[in-house]
């Protein structure tokens, strides 16, 4: 019988069910799994950014100890193996489609970035594979690299079918209206920003283990994926051309993703392909250097912004021209990220009558760039919140008050923006007020003066963001170029004893679904969370699901679970009515009990479950036995979390070090299921945003070598780089899902970078500094101070 | 090849391994104890922290042979018979973990930190955990966990 009570249901900061296995070292990550007879693959990767392959000599490597097989692009081509595909494309301004180049899983004739996969060396041990890889000789004809995004169009052409290195040329909004607004504006604010390139760096490196069963002619792939069914679909149908039903994809415990584990990568396809050729399990785990080189990177935009204000400082128009660096190949979401997930967010939380944007997606000889925590929305928020501060400064207004007067008023919802989205609900002033109170905005000037007395520059910076989660609906997405559906699935299986198994298409890699989803089901069914088991990540067990990204799991996956639970309750009510000889309509379900209204007749949830599986006294004329339901939920709209984040910094002019001294944020995520988990998501998101703004930067030199390819050179946020965060919430419940939830996974990473850079500029503004690029490293800040002081001295 | 023997979580273990076998590979592969993780190849992330003779060690930087005759404790070896180690319990209570990948190293480093400094300040914890990267939590709740763990270990 179900144990426990319902006090751990929706709204409780329940401690996580999944913690124990992680805390005791019993987590099961891909690299923890071994198979008898397994072989190891090591990849020989390109050392050049751009080159033709003249010859590959593998004889010495083949003769090396332990080597079982060596594969090159020729083997891949001979077997007709396809490459990873682009999951979403857009239509160009001129009506033509996105240029999609082929992406062979082992380079075929040309390499296009340092780290490109060239040869797979497979041996009995990893060390043997690595040693043999040293013996592979490749003759390259080196071609010109294309590294500088601003000049990528005039660089050496990377792909035959991508002229001017332009994958797409996208636009959104009304150009004439935006031009007219800017032409007649009382004030025009201009800004150019660079959204620095980031490397996701989930702490668990990517890994894969594939095995082939020749009796069933079937494969099993264990892989570090955020969406096992998509991996199965892409590898099965597009790469290996095998029936999907013959490929089982398992994403066991996954050590963080942040977007980087959405995509199918060549390595996992090579493992799967080779497992049949060699009839042995094949395993691969990236070392961190490979992760730096060959994981999908994030961001990397140049945005040119023009904003118009009327004489009362109300925004009248906005134009943004963006160059997005997409790297050497297109990934699953590389096209949608800087377009559909970016351009429609340009209205932010502001009333802007006219908006136009053009986005050009460029090919360069760098790792592919794809969705990374926030995906497109951080880039939109960064440019908008930077130009908001620039505008406020230009017209001499307090940045908080300038934002407030331009907010979409709360009585304007549903609000149709000029860039496609319709916000269902929101109220932007309360989070602004609350965050200002939390950080004592009013007292800031006193703190600035106090810091000045100590020789430090103190600054405060705001960011009021909106984001769009749970991409939807599928039909609209399809019309916009999506090649996948954007629903989520759930099967709820009640056992005869009343315990419940939930099979979800969402995937948890740190988000705590085992707990949050169990809370929802426990709450709805009036049973203890201990009676609810969440199953995810195995394509053989769960219904076809879309996985976890874009802060969609709760708003879409959770909503699917609620729908399935509702079906369970509907069926159970009929069974209860039959058992209690009452009319269906008279049966009420609450707190885990079915009662007949106006009587003391009642049946527990467990009793109904038992009756469904031991159907001796059962309404056979109306129902099938059993208690299991599946639901697919296709959302009606995006959800729109919003809020305000405020950063306070102190800068030491002698070193240029930016000390982040305080952080306050107030977010509106709609209803919260588990506030503790939500808060953790906010903390993690802010930390990644702080990383972007102060520390992290993926840098390729002019020859196309990745200079920041280890933790020595790529600066990750560490414990002593960050303060404690003050986090609070307001709630406007989402109007179109049953839970009233919006999603919280990316908000911190979206909101935080502009708050921080605005704070840095605010600190240095008294010196005359008006701009700062990310990351605001000590060197850059120090130089800005020096040149401002030199200018002042002139 | 070389024969390596030491006490692993209180049990004597011994195996013949290539001379250059790292302690972390000995633990994960030779001993199939996969709680200790590998997050980098430059000794920077701390996912691999174990205790050798009660001191925190990045097991990716130490040869298995160098542990000969010592006593090695991993994340699998710290829970008491009657439940979690106070530091594990504190991480659970304070939501000090998300994906769990950094967690074993983080907990092992935290235990050692508290042994050295039974009542660490927030700053001391932040500086003390500087060698352990977590990409998920933003460290806020890890710091809280270590503070709580220190209190519980003192009880
Ligand atoms: S694995 Fe990163 S420090 Fe040891
Ligand atoms: S919990 Fe995921 S890296 Fe720390």
Q: Flag the least confident range among A2-6, A74-78, A367-371.
A: A2-6
Name the domain count of chain A. 4
Name the domain count of chain B. 2
pLDDT for A483: 83
Question: Which CATH number fits the domain that encloses residue A427?
Answer: 3.30.365.10
- Mean pLDDT of all residues in A107-133: 97
Q: Confidence class of residue A488 from pLDDT cuts 50, 70 and 90?
A: confident
Identify whether the C-beta of residue A674 lies closer than 8 Å to the C-beta of residue A12. yes
Question: Which CATH number fits the domain that encloses residue B69?
Answer: 3.10.20.30
Which residue in B135, B1, B119 sits closest to A291, CA to CA? B135
Q: Confidence class of residue A722 from pLDDT cuts 50, 70 and 90?
A: very high
- Mean pLDDT of all residues in A329-358: 96
Predicted confidence (pLDDT) per residue in A575-586, tens digit: 999 999 999 999
Q: Flag the least confident range among A98-112, A477-491, B14-28, B109-123.
A: A477-491
E strands within B2-138? 2-8, 11-17, 49-52, 55-58, 71-73
Nearest residue in chain A measured CA to CA from B30: A34
- Residues A212 and A357: their CA atoms lie apart, in Å, by 49
Cβ-defined contact of A19 to B91 (cutoff 8 Å) = yes
**B68 and B91 part of one domain:** no
Cβ-defined contact of B137 to A687 (cutoff 8 Å) = yes
Q: Which residues of chain A does B99 touch, with a Cβ-Cβ cutoff of 8 Å?
A: 22, 202-204, 253-256, 509-510
Which residue in A397, A392, A423 sits closest to A410, CA to CA? A423
Residue A1 has pLDDT above 70, yes or no: no
Share of chain A above pLDDT 90, in %: 90
- Residues A781 and A392: their CA atoms lie apart, in Å, by 22
Full residue range of the structural domain in which residue B14 is found: 2-77
Selecting from B88, B101, B141 the residue whose C-beta is nearest the C-beta of A683 gives B141
**A720 and A747 part of one domain:** yes
Please give the angle made by the CA atoms of A135, A137 and A142, to the nearest 5 degrees. Answer: 145
Q: Flag the least confident range among A2-6, A98-102, B87-91, B150-154.
A: A2-6
**Arithmetic mean of pLDDT over chain A:** 95
pLDDT for A174: 97
Q: Which of A117, A143, A169 is the last residue of a domain?
A: A143
Q: What is the DSSP string of A646-714?
A: EEEEEE-TTT-PEEEEEEEEEEE-BS-S-HHHHHHHHHHHHHHHHIIIII----B-TTS-BS--STTTS
**B33 and B12 part of one domain:** yes
HEC states along A40-81? EEEEEECCCCCEEEEEEECHHHHHCCCEEEEEEHHHHHHCCC
Beta-bridge partner residues of B80: B83
**B8 and B63 part of one domain:** yes
Predicted confidence (pLDDT) per residue in A545-569, tens digit: 888 887 787 888 888 999 999 999 9
Which residue in A232, A230, A203, A207 sits closest to A219, CA to CA? A232
Question: Which CATH number fits the domain that encloses residue B104?
Answer: 1.10.150.120
**A278 and A340 part of one domain:** no
Omega into A775 within 30° of 0, i.e. cis?
yes
Q: How far is CA A198 from CA A287, A370, A687, A696, A717, in A?
A: 18, 10, 13, 7, 12
> The tokens 């959405």 sit on which residue?
A262
**A550 and A644 part of one domain:** no
Cβ-defined contact of A25 to B44 (cutoff 8 Å) = no
Q: How far is the CA of B71 from the centre of ligand 1 (A)?
A: 20
A165 belongs to a structural domain:
no
pLDDT for B90: 98
HEC states along A229-255? HHHHHHHHHHHCCCCHHHEEEECCECC
Q: Which of A219, A254, A285 is the last residue of a domain?
A: A285
Packed helices A675-690 and B140-154: angle between N→C axes, nearest 10 degrees:
120
For residue B99, the Cα-to-chain-centroid distance in whole angstroms is: 16
Which residue in A218, A227, A178, A206 sits closest to A357, CA to CA? A178
Q: How far is the CA of B40 from the centre of ligand 1 (A)?
A: 5
For every one of its 155 residues, what pLDDT tens digit does chain B have, with 9 covering 90 and above?
Answer: 999 999 999 999 999 999 999 999 999 999 999 999 999 999 999 999 999 999 999 999 999 999 999 999 999 999 987 799 999 999 999 999 999 999 999 999 999 999 999 999 999 999 999 999 999 999 999 999 999 999 999 98
Nearest residue in chain B measured CA to CA from A687: B138
**B126 and B108 part of one domain:** yes
Nearest residue in chain B measured CA to CA from A14: B93
Write phi, then psi, for B73 (nearest 5 degrees).
-120, 135
Question: Which CATH number fits the domain that encloses residue A101?
Answer: 3.90.1170.50
pLDDT for A642: 97
- Residues A404 and A436: their CA atoms lie apart, in Å, by 12
Identify whether the C-beta of residue A436 lies closer than 8 Å to the C-beta of residue A646. yes
Please give the angle made by the CA atoms of A552, A387 and A378, to the nearest 5 degrees. Answer: 20
pLDDT for A207: 98
Full residue range of the structural domain in which residue A138 is found: 46-143
Q: Confidence class of residue A609 from pLDDT cuts 50, 70 and 90?
A: very high
Omega into A414 within 30° of 0, i.e. cis?
yes
For chain B, helix, strand, coil in percent to 5 are 40, 20, 45
Residue A788 has pLDDT above 90, yes or no: yes
pLDDT for A506: 83
What residues does ligand 2 touch, defined as CB less than 6 Å away? A 203, 255-256, 510; B 97-103, 134-137
Write phi, then psi, for A30 (nearest 5 degrees).
-55, -45
Predicted confidence (pLDDT) per residue in A33-58, tens digit: 999 999 999 999 999 999 999 999 99
**A255 and A326 part of one domain:** no
- Helix, strand, or coil here: A770? coil
Predicted confidence (pLDDT) per residue in A371-397, tens digit: 999 999 999 999 999 999 999 999 999
Selecting from B28, B92, B137 the residue whose C-beta is nearest the C-beta of A19 gives B92
- Residues A25 and B97: their CA atoms lie apart, in Å, by 13
**B73 and B100 part of one domain:** no
- Mean pLDDT of all residues in A291-295: 97
Selecting from B39, B40, B142 the residue whose C-beta is nearest the C-beta of A719 gives B142
Residue A446, burial from CB neighbour count under 10 angstroms (0-12, 13-18, 19+): exposed
Q: Which of A633, A663, A691 is the last residue of a domain?
A: A633
Q: Confidence class of residue A8 from pLDDT cuts 50, 70 and 90?
A: confident
pLDDT for A747: 94
**A527 and A411 part of one domain:** no
- Residues A593 and A587: their CA atoms lie apart, in Å, by 10
Residues 6+ apart with CB under 8 A from A90: A98, A168, A170, A335, A336, A339, A340, A480, A481
Predicted confidence (pLDDT) per residue in A232-289, tens digit: 999 999 999 999 999 999 999 999 999 999 999 999 999 999 999 999 999 999 999 9
The tokens for B67 are 């542990």
Identify whether the C-beta of residue A488 lies closer than 8 Å to the C-beta of residue A505. yes
Residue B71 sits at the chain A interface (C-beta within 8 Å): no
């Amino acid at each position: 019988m179900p144990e426990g009570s319902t006090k751990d249901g929706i709204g409780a900061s329940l401690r996580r069910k999944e913690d124990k296995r992680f805390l005791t070292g019993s987590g099961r990550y891909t690299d923890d799994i071994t198979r008898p007879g397994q072989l190891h693959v090591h990849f020989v990767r390109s050392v050049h950014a751009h080159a033709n392959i003249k010859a590959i000599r593998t004889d010495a490597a083949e003769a090396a100890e332990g080597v079982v097989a060596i594969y090159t692009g020729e083997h891949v081509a001979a077997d007709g193996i396809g490459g990873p595909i682009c999951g979403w494309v857009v239509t160009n301004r001129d009506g033509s489609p996105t240029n999609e180049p082929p992406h062979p899983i082992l380079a075929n004739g040309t390499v296009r970035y340092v780290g490109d996969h060239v040869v797979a060396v497979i041996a009995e041990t990893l060390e043997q594979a690595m040693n043999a890889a040293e013996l592979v000789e490749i003759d390259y004809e080196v071609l010109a690299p294309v590294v500088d995004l601003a000049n990528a169009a005039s660089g050496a052409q990377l792909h035959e079918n991508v002229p001017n290195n332009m994958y797409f040329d996208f636009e959104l909004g009304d150009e004439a209206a935006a031009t007219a607004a800017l032409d007649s504006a009382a004030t025009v604010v201009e800004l150019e920003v660079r959204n620095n390139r980031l490397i996701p760096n989930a702490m668990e490196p990517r890994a894969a283990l594939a095995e082939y069963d020749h009796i069933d002619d079937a494969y099993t792939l264990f892989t570090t994926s955020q969406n096992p069914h998509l991996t199965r679909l892409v590898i099965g149908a597009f790469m290996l051309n095998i029936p999907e039903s013959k490929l089982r994809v398992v994403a066991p415990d996954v050590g963080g993703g942040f977007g980087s584990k959405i995509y199918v990568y060549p390595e996992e396809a090579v493992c799967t392909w080779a497992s049949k050729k060699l009839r042995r399990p094949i395993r691969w785990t990236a070392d961190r250097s490979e992760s730096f080189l060959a994981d999908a990177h994030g961001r990397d935009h140049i945005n040119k912004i023009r904003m118009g204000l009327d004489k009362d400082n109300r925004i009248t128009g906005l134009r943004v021209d963006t160059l997005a660096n997409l790297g050497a190949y297109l990934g699953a979401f590389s096209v949608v990220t800087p377009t559909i997930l970016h351009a429609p967010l340009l209205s932010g939380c502001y009333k802007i009558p006219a908006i136009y944007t053009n986005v050009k997606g460029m090919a360069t000889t760098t790792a592919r760039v794809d969705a990374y925590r926030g995906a497109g929305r951080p880039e939109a928020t960064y440019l908008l919140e930077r130009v908001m501060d620039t505008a406020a400064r230009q017209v001499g207004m307090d940045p908080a008050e300038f934002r407030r007067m331009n907010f979409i008023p709360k009585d304007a919802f549903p609000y149709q923006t000029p860039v496609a989205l319709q916000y269902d609900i929101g109220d932007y002033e309360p989070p602004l007020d609350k965050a200002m109170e939390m950080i004592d905005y009013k007292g800031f000037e006193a703190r600035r003066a106090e810091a000045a007395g100590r020789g430090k520059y103190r600054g405060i910076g705001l960011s009021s963001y909106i984001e769009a989660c749970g991409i939807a609906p599928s039909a609209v997405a399809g019309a916009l170029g999506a090649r996948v559906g954007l629903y989520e699935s759930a099967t709820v299986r009640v056992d005869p004893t009343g315990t419940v198994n939930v099979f979800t298409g969402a995937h948890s890699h740190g988000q705590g679904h085992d707990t949050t989803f169990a809370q929802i089901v426990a709450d709805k069914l009036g049973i203890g969370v201990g009676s609810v088991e969440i199953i995810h990540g195995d394509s053989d067990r769960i219904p076809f699901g879309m996985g976890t990204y874009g802060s969609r799991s709760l708003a879409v996956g959770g909503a699917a679970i609620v729908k399935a639970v509702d079906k369970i309750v509907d069926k159970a009510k009929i069974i209860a009515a039959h058992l209690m000889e009452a009319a269906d309509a008279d049966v009420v379900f609450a707190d885990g009990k079915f009662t007949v209204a106006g009587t003391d007749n009642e049946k527990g949830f467990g009793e109904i479950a038992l009756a469904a599986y031991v159907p001796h006294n059962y309404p056979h004329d109306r129902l099938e036995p059993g208690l299991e339901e599946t639901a697919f939920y296709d959302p009606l709209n995006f959800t729109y979390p919003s809020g305000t984040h405020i950063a306070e910094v102190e800068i030491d002019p002698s070193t240029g070090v930016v000390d982040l001294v305080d952080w306050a944020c107030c977010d509106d995520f709609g209803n919260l299921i588990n506030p503790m988990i939500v808060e953790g998501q906010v903390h993690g998101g802010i930390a990644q945003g702080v990383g972007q703004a102060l520390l992290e930067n993926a840098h390729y030199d002019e020859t196309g070598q990745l200079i920041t390819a280890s933790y020595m050179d790529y600066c990750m946020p560490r414990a002593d780089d960050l303060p404690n965060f003050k986090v609070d919430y307001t709630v406007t419940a989402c109007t179109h899902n049953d839970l009233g939830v919006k999603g919280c996974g990316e908000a911190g990473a979206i909101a935080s970078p502009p708050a921080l850079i605005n704070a840095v500029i605010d600190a240095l503004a008294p010196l005359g500094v008006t701009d700062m690029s990310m990351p605001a490293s000590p060197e850059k800040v120090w130089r800005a101070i020096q040149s401002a002081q030199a200018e002042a001295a002139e | 090849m070389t024969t390596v023997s030491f006490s692993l979580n209180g049990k004597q273990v011994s195996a013949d391994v290539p001379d250059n076998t790292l302690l972390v590979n000995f633990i994960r592969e030779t001993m199939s104890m996969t709680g200790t993780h590998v997050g980098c190849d430059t000794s920077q992330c701390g996912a691999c922290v174990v205790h050798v003779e009660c001191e925190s060690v990045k097991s990716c930087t130490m040869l298995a042979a160098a542990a000969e005759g010592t006593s090695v404790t991993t994340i699998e070896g710290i829970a008491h018979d009657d439940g979690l180690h106070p530091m594990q319990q504190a991480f659970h209570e304070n939501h000090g973990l998300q994906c769990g990948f950094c967690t074993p190293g983080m907990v092992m480093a935290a235990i050692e930190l508290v042994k050295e400094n039974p009542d660490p300040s927030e700053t001391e914890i932040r500086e003390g955990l500087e060698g352990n990267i977590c990409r998920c939590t933003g460290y806020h709740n890890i710091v809280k966990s270590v503070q709580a763990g220190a209190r519980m270990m003192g009880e």
